[in-house]
Amino acid sequence: MKKTGAVLVVIALLGVVAWLGVSFRNLRVQRLEAVERRVRLPETHLVDLQDAPVLLRADGRQSVVLVLFTTTCEYCRAELRAFSEKALLFKEHKVFFVAWEEADALQAFAGETGVDAVPWFRVLRDTVSALDDTLGIAMVPTTFVYGPDGRLRDTFEGIAAIESIAAAARGKESL
């Protein structure tokens, strides 16, 4: 009887190990697919705070800085304030701050952080979570820097040095 119990325990453990292996493999595949999708700036439609449609795409002239955030994230709040304080570093680039929240919450947050006062910054809403699904966002803030050709130059997960993001936008190595 003890032998049968031990065999069943071993079989159960092997089953759990096999299930975990498949689960980890699937997660790895999903992450690799997201990395592949990140290589080019996804052309997608977002909306601004007045619900006007905005096509997110590279224009061949300016780098695109894409900052994904939430209004409840303290790190996001700090990073957006830093962008506002160092806005001149980004004057020659397109900078989009994107969240999945309601326009009123985003408007208040943009005002609080100061990004709404910078003419070359745009706060956008991803009403259908298209970027979250396409880019596989695991944390906020996450910042993607794409060159004028729409190819990914650098990614910053979590709070990042604004100077490093600006260097990537200029095509220089990050600090």
> For 59-109, how does the pLDDT look when each residue is reduced to its tens digit (9 = 90+)?
999 999 999 999 999 999 999 999 999 999 999 999 999 999 999 999 999
The boundaries of the domain holding residue 9 are 1-38
Query: 86 with 141, same domain?
Result: yes
Query: 59 with 128, same domain?
Result: yes
- 6 located within any domain: yes
**DSSP letter at 28?**
H
**DSSP letter at 40?**
B
Query: 109 with 132, same domain?
Result: yes
Query: 142 with 109, same domain?
Result: yes
Number of domains in the chain: 2
- 102 located within any domain: yes
Please indicate whether residue 132 or residue 5 has the higher confidence score (pLDDT): 132
- 59 located within any domain: yes
DSSP symbols for 76-137: HHHHHHHHHHTGGGGTTSEEEEEESS-HHHHHHHHHHHTGGG-TTEEEEE-TT-HHHHHHT-
